[in-house]
Amino acid sequence: METRKLGNSGLEVSALGMGCMGLSFGYGPATDKLQGIKLIREAHEQGVTFFDTAEAYGIANEELVGEALAPFRKEVVIATKFGFKEGNSTLGMDSRPERIRAVAEESLRRLKTDVIDLFYQHRVDPNVPIEDVAGTVKELIQEGKVKHFGLSEAGVESIRRAHAIQPVTALQSEYSIWWREPELKTLPTLEELGIGFVPFSPLGRGFLTGAITENTQFDSTDFRNSLPRFNDENRKANQKLVDLLAVIASQKKATPAQIALGWLLAQKPWIVPIPGTTKSHRLTENIGGASVELSISDIQEIDEAFAKTNVKGDRYPAHIQSSIEK
């Protein structure tokens, strides 16, 4: 697989990374540990060098990633995150300097490593100045415990203020064919500052693969049950987006997921999507998306077609949506 550099930082990773959250958290029962290790190692064998986890995905997720990547630790880039009270996303934010340091030590231990390659603030904490957050990570970098600083779902003002204290290597936020808001302010700011972009949910939390329909029943513990965009009515309305992707995919001898990933990769050379999966065949399919070549006219055709559609449903419930910076 080809590699990409995240902005001006010099951090080089595979063009597609692997989001590991779903192996343990968010999408129903956790994957069997041995199966999770096998899948992560399969990703590495197929050229993936960039793996994403977080304290908030549970202790088991970081431990799984650490154990899976231990045999070839020096060949890969591991990203993890801090920023929630007690590592629990339902308890609110906590990016106090002492908490950041404690999370770093815990993550180093769980990941079986002596350095965190990319350490993200998971969400901006309104109670802690972003300068204090950036300054703390800067100290961790100087101490050799962290290599690069990242932000997740941060607004442009916070990005600028943090970047002035400690250069931000990457911003991680949701971005896909059906969530285009980063194009308004975020992408121009990242390009100006030389910061890489790591889109999570590049396949619309699975919807853009075509595997989810209005009749799909999610496990009771799957957080998509709480997302407005995934209620039955909105899934039915949004099906035309997937049908459109399928038509384009058939023309390109690809799958809808591969077109969705190829579209993202074609936007900017410093964008590195991190699709996640629990299935080996989906992993191989996703990796195939890095080889899809879309011309300028292809991109234009896709954008024009999607401009005529109207995605139904917010991406988060109102109480979560209101806490995310614009």
Residues annotated as catalytic (active site), given as ranges: 57
- Residue carrying the six token digits 């899934």: 235
- Number of other residues whose CB lies within 10 A of the CB of residue 106: 16
- Residues 132, 138, 139, 145, CA torsion sign: positive
Distances (CA, A) of 113 to 57, 67, 117, 149, 272: 18, 10, 10, 17, 23
**Phi/psi zone of residue 47: left (φ > 0), alpha (ψ -120 to 50 degrees), beta?**
left
The answer to whether 58 touches 86, Cβ cutoff 8 Å, is no
SS3 content of the chain, % helix, strand, coil (to 5): 50, 15, 35
Using an 8 Å Cβ cutoff, are 213 and 187 in contact?
no
DSSP 71: G
Residue 38 CA to residue 236 CA, distance in Å, equals 35
